[in-house]
Amino acid sequence: MGWLAIWDGRKLTHVARDARRAELCEGTIRFEMHLRGDIQTPVILWQGRTGTARDLRVLARPDGTVSFEHGTSIVETQPGFLLSGEPLHLHYSWSRLGHGGQLVLKNLQTGAESTTFLSAHAPRELAEIVPETPGPMLSVSYAGVANHALPDIPLPGLDGAVKVATPDGPVPVARLGVGAKVLTRSGREQTVRWIGKSERMARGSDAPVLLRAPYFGLFEDILVSRNQPLLLSGCEVEYLFGHEEVLAQVEDIRRAGAARISLAQPVVTLHHVLLDDHDCLMSGRSALASNLLADVLAAEGKSTARLDQADRQSAWPMIDRPSAQAWLEMLSQNRPAAA
């Protein structure tokens, strides 16, 4: 299972060898695009190629409504949801294995969002979901079709080549397995409880970030997801937040030079590590948070209602983007080379 096709703008840049024969009992479509100008009639944002009622179809209407149709599922946003020039993010996952599906529509400019859980359904053939060439009223940033179901907000993760500290020395994450021992920020030797991996379309909000050494205490450059939490410390952290250490998402502390979005490959495989207790893996002197059990279960569509608090909450406070930006500003004033 993987990404069957990826478009950069209007250009098809990635096609899986077995795309036409791929099993489609589960799948995901993600795209980001916007209207080039005001429209007087409905504009097709995405439509399958079979010309039948089974085709997936997404429309933008003149009143700002976005309409979605696939099989028996019909969803419409409120009027004014999407206007000219505003970027639309669509995430659609489906399954006929009993898990149902999910449709997420986001206006990335206004913050308007619509999430709908759908009944079990899946296309019979790829032509039902692979779109025709977009019309002149559309500007496409990226789009992709996969034959595995993904959550709209994926798990934080690390590229398999990222080396983490173990009792036997640094080991690439891809070589870790259940039961492996790692050395953590808390000073403890912990056991890997679960390890998973996911194939991501390295475009849009899923594009990974390359953290560059020697920033962040790294000994070498590493590739991580944009929502990977990184542990921050120092006098600026204690002054601003009242804690010696806090977690911040990589995307929220990304600055030119120290970190940049990587579009080198259309697809990346990220690894996810769950320990006995929430902690940070060490790569050089950089502390990278392990995954929370609650997040792992939520990404699989499972209930987290019966989990203990320790499996729901990170071991360190997590700061939001405005707080992370305040830390960056103070760091640039006090230690320009570090920022």
Residue 137 DSSP class:
T
Per-residue pLDDT, 1? 66
The answer to whether 81 and 89 have CB atoms below 8 angstroms apart is: no
Tell me: the pLDDT tens digits for 194-221? 999 999 999 988 899 999 999 999 999 9
Exposure string over 135-167, b if 16+ CB within 10 A, otherwise e: eebbebbbbbbbbbbbbbebbbbbbbebbbbbe
Per-residue pLDDT, 180? 97
Per-residue pLDDT, 336? 60
Number of neighbouring beta carbons within 10 Å of residue 63: 12
Q: Please give the structure tokens belonging to residue 127.
A: 């032509």
The answer to whether 120 and 97 have CB atoms below 8 angstroms apart is: yes
The answer to whether 285 and 263 have CB atoms below 8 angstroms apart is: no
Q: Please give the structure tokens belonging to residue 39.
A: 């429209």
Strands 57-60 and 138-146, by their bridges, are unpaired
Mean pLDDT of the chain: 91
**Nearest partner of 30 among 189, 200, 243, judged by Cα:** 200
Q: Is 285 helix (H, G, I), strand (E, B) or coil?
A: coil
Q: Looking at this protein, which amino acid is placed at residue 123?
A: P
Per-residue pLDDT, 143? 92
Q: Kindly write down the DSSP assignment for every residue of 100-145, as one continuous string.
A: -EEEEEEETTT--EEEEEE-SB--SSGGGTSPPPP-TTEEEEEEEE
Per-residue pLDDT, 83? 93
Mean pLDDT by 10 residues, the chain (339 residues): 85 82 89 90 91 91 95 92 94 80 94 90 87 79 90 92 97 97 94 94 91 95 96 95 96 88 93 96 97 88 84 93 94 69
The answer to whether 109 and 59 have CB atoms below 8 angstroms apart is: no
Tell me: the pLDDT tens digits for 82-129? 999 999 999 999 887 766 689 999 999 999 999 998 887 788 888 898
